[in-house]
Chain A
């Protein structure tokens, strides 16, 4: 299964690049020293640090090196933080932020989503839907939206039984207002790579920009909620 979240994929590749680089450096160093600086049990060896029981040994340090591998990882994580910073505005955009997803769409208007080179989606406006979680079923409400933009139905899948379906349109951006009727839940849109907790007594929200080419997929509950948590599922049906 592919994650249809281009931003996730871009960040993943970027982090993998640095992870592999750091791993290669570390493991090469480990491999080399593990086999190069060895001796056998009982073999004579130098004792450069004057190790002797009951004596705190000579310091084995090098200020320059220690500063170097304090500063180098620090610079790397500053850079990775910077790289991860910009997407924050995409996933945690404030409501009615004109630079992110604009204002709520008026009747007949489309979000006209735009994706930049790293996968961040901005929209001219957004549509509001409501998602309610309760043990152990999802409920979707399209509010005033036309059926072309949002619709609900149900389907029977062999393993999950009869579960609700949320029909959304690709290329549009939705703001899901999340509420719970009992305990904490979290809808996880698997292919969109998005989730947010649904709390009892507090409204939370989740941006759902639907990229073109998103396949129909299962929505799971990601926050443990009791007995039937694992089959608290729904389906996202995406249409052109």
Chain B
């Protein structure tokens, strides 16, 4: 490692550390958690054992709804009757209701109480606690300050004061299991998933060569993976990371569905729910879908165009390794109980407001790194595809998957700077107090929405267009036909790419932005249906006259055609403004984008996994497990998302931590049937989640003892099927690159209809000579 590289690494490490540490500068003495941990406004940095807090009057076991008089007190520390002030407290209770009995105590809602100004000169306070009407394990958390009463002003009068903390538990009449903190559940599941992933990788290493299962062999093996610049290895890293975060995002989705299974549920608090849906969206888009795309793109683009590697292999490695750092930043807030709670869209001014969690800063910092990663990836693929195509391969002879990656990266390249700029503005607003989005200081309340959706809508296409590429490859190969309308497929993808930049306003129909802009984007949004329709009809026509062979990737492709068509059609309801005013921000939107992003992108990538896994590993996947995966996944997926359309029309709002149905006793927002449908959706969600275990099992089984794969198991035409399975490194000999032949060469040399017309008009040279 030379000195320049060492310096660069040190600077990068320092920057990463700085981004993590900076937001912590405003954390509370007990961490950056919510009110129950930090609400004491503790006087001092650390708790002091000199102060002893106590709560009296609490029963060991409460009676339903009974009122208890409780006394809070403390002893020790600098408190003294001679001081001008003696102390204060903050009490938080998980259930039941706290209420003051005199002017020395004030409550903040039912769950929190503190001393008043008048109660600042005491060491004990009295209040009532009404026990819950149901069985709950109740937790009390008390913070007390013992103060010396100085008023030097420099430290808010708190220098020399001491504080401490006490927690107590009260049991219900009927003992119930302690409910785990959802963050603990999430963290546990993530850790378990990580451990399982590590064990799986270790097992794969072991099975590759059981005789060499020693550290001496393992160290260079793992070092090779961590430092490799080979496109195939980086592709695999992206692929594993993408699948891992698909699982993590799925775990969060399951917890969201537990919360929504019944009306008025309290499995997650509002605060927790807001963090879960924020991270679910961020994880699925940026840490699952994008890495999966990059995984396949890394693997297949060089192979498909006959290149030995990507144009900039070290940039490629850096693009990947920025992602785990970004993921750590994004999740840091969650593990401290104060993760981003802004939604993946991070709307301003909420995102810069005091009410947004502190973890939002880390979330923004992580996304800035992802922007950097995506930009570097974009440079790499555009360069590679532009200059490293094999001899004989013109632009209109590239495989459609490569075309899809080219168009996706062009879209990303043109849109992501807007997002990056917006993120940096938000970061500066949150950290050093600039006012890009502080409306009271002249900031613009709609600027973020414009910047975000200018990026956000093309981003949705960035994750779906590569799936179009996959489906084009798979359906043609499975039908043993050339894709119908190759050129119109390319133009349709390019058309989608262009139109994607002028439709984003449909996310803002109800935002109050310029009506002219809203009207224009209504028209352009309608236009997206044209290239999308061309693609669907071309895929269907490709099967015409073909010899479709049913394999698992064929099944997922046909499934994609069903779900993506439904998702596309439901998308047409939004540009009709009079309908959008009702459907916007409802579960109809949730259903639509899951039909597009899961039924489209994820199904597309399931097809890609079954299609290219033999090429990547040299082993054939188990078709029986694959069919079981498809049947269970396809059915449970539709059961999960289809009913959401109806819930949206009924008025179920997205990003609401719970919902209420109208009963004879009380008015709610939704009809009573909504409760049953939500339970059905939650059960289906679990079935869909677990159906993916068939895929994981299949991949593990295949790697360990799958049948050896030939170079071209499905009969494809493009260059990746020319190399061995798995391909060697470098993928193609740089001194002996493959040359693409063209079955249309005789056609290509013949003039088109326009050429024939000109030929008729022109006098040929032979005739001129004759005259």
A binds B: yes
Chain A residues at the B interface, C-beta cutoff of 8 Å: 1, 3, 5, 7-8, 11-12, 15, 19, 22-23, 26-27, 29-30, 33-34, 37-41, 43, 45-62, 65-66, 69-70, 72-74, 76-77, 80-81, 83-84, 87-88, 90-92, 135, 157-160, 178, 182-184, 186, 188, 190, 193-197, 199-202, 204, 216-218, 220-231, 233, 235
Contact B550 A38 (CB under 8 A): yes
Residue in A12, A52, A186 whose CB lies within 8 Å of B717 = A52
Residues of A within 8 A of B576 (CB): 11, 15, 80, 83-84, 87
Nearest CB in chain A to that of B669: its residue: A218
- A66-B538, A184-B350 known; A81-B510 Cβ under 8 A: no
Q: Which residues of B contact A186 (CB under 8 A)?
A: 510, 585
Question: A3 — which chain B residues lie within 8 A by C-beta?
Answer: 582, 649
- Known contacts A74-B530, A77-B529; decide if A54 and B440 are in contact (CB<8 Å): no
Q: Which of B445, B485, B536, B544 contacts A202 (CB 8 A)?
A: B445
Interface string of B513-536 (1 = CB under 8 A from A): 001001100110011011001101
Do B585 and A222 touch across chains, with their CB atoms under 8 A apart?
Answer: yes
| CB closest chain-A residue, reference B716 | A53
Centre residue among B393, B511, B561, B658 by max chain A CB count within 10 A: B511
Mask of B638-661 contacts with A, CB within 8 angstroms, 1/0: 000000000001110101111110
**CB of B593, distance to nearest CB on chain A (Å):** 16
Q: Give the number of residues in B that approach A within 8 Å (Cβ atoms).
A: 112
CB distance from A175 to the nearest CB of B (A): 14
The 4 closest A-B pairs by CB, nearest first: A193-B582, A230-B656, A39-B547, A49-B482
Residues of chain B from 700 to 724 with CB closer than 8 A to chain A in the complex: 711-712, 715-719, 721-722
Compute how far the CA of A190 lies from the CA of B651 in the bound complex, rounded to whole angstroms.
6
Beta-carbon contact of B534 and A15 below 8 Å: no
Q: Can you sample 11 A-B contacts with CB below 8 Å?
A: A11-B576, A57-B743, A83-B576, A84-B522, A182-B353, A184-B347, A199-B446, A199-B511, A202-B445, A218-B667, A235-B667
Bound form: Cα–Cα A58–B748 in Å: 11
Interface string of B558-575 (1 = CB under 8 A from A): 100110011001101101
Chain A residues lying within 8 Å of B578, measured Cβ to Cβ, are: 7-8, 11, 84, 87-88, 90-91
B670 neighbours in A (Cβ, 8 Å): 1
Query: What is the distance, in angstroms, from A104's C-beta to the closest C-beta of chain B?
Result: 20
Q: CB within 8 A of A77: which of B526, B581, B717, B738?
A: B526
Distance in angstroms between the alpha carbons of A99 and B565 in the assembled complex: 39
Q: A1-B650, A66-B538, A202-B445 are known contacts. Are A233 and B579 too (CB-CB below 8 A)?
A: no
Give the distance in Å from the alpha carbon of A65 to the alpha carbon of B537 in the complex: 10
Contacts of A196 in B (CB 8 A): 510, 512, 581
> Chain A residue with minimal CB distance to B545?
A37
Cross-chain contact B274 with A227 (CB below 8 angstroms) = yes
Separation of A47 and B716 alpha carbons in the complex (Å): 12
Give A221 to B550 CA distance when docked, in angstroms. 48
Counted as pairs of residues, one from A and one from B, with CB atoms less than 8 Å apart, the total is 306
Given A8-B578, A190-B669, A223-B347, check contact A37 B526 (CB 8 Å). Answer: no
Q: Which residues of A contact B656 (CB under 8 A)?
A: 220, 229-230
Q: Is B502 an interface residue (CB 8 A)?
A: no
| Sample of 18 further A-B pairs with CB below 8 A, known A51-B482, A61-B484, A88-B522 | A8-B582, A34-B548, A37-B543, A38-B549, A48-B545, A55-B717, A58-B744, A60-B483, A76-B529, A159-B660, A159-B666, A178-B512, A202-B512, A217-B667, A222-B510, A222-B584, A226-B353, A227-B274
Task: Select from chain B the residue with minimum beta-carbon distance to A49.
Answer: B482
Chain A residues with Cβ below 8 Å from B669 are 190, 217-218, 220, 233
Inside 8 A of A224's CB, which chain B residues have their CB?
274, 342-343, 347, 350, 655
Given A15-B572, A58-B743, A59-B747; A201-B343 close (CB under 8 Å): no
A56 touches B742 (CB 8 A): yes
Tell yes or no: B157 within 8 A of A by CB.
no
Find chain B residues with CB under 8 A from A182 CB. Answer: 349, 353, 355
Q: Give min CB distance, B596 to chain A, whole Å.
A: 15
Contact A194 B715 (CB under 8 A): no
Check A43 against B522 for contact (C-beta < 8 Å). no
Tell whether, in the assembled complex, residue A56 and residue B717 are in contact, meaning their CB atoms are under 8 Å apart: yes
- Known A-B contacts A19-B572, A88-B577; A158 and B666 likewise in contact (beta carbons under 8 Å): yes
CB distance from B449 to the nearest CB of A (A): 9
- A222 CA / B440 CA spacing, docked (Å): 23
How distant is the Cα of A41 from the Cα of B550 in the complex, in angstroms? 8
Given A19-B572, A200-B439, check contact A29 B540 (CB 8 Å): yes
Distance, CA A37 to CA B721, complexed state (A): 24
Q: Which of A26, A92, A218 contacts B536 (CB 8 A)?
A: A26
Q: Is the CB of A230 within 8 A of B653?
A: yes
**What residue in chain A is nearest B623 (Cβ atoms)?**
A41
**Residues of the A chain whose Cβ atoms lie less than 8 Å from the Cβ of B740:** 54-56
- Cα(A164)–Cα(B402), bound, Å: 57
- The reply to whether B510 and A54 form a contact with Cβ atoms under 8 Å apart is no
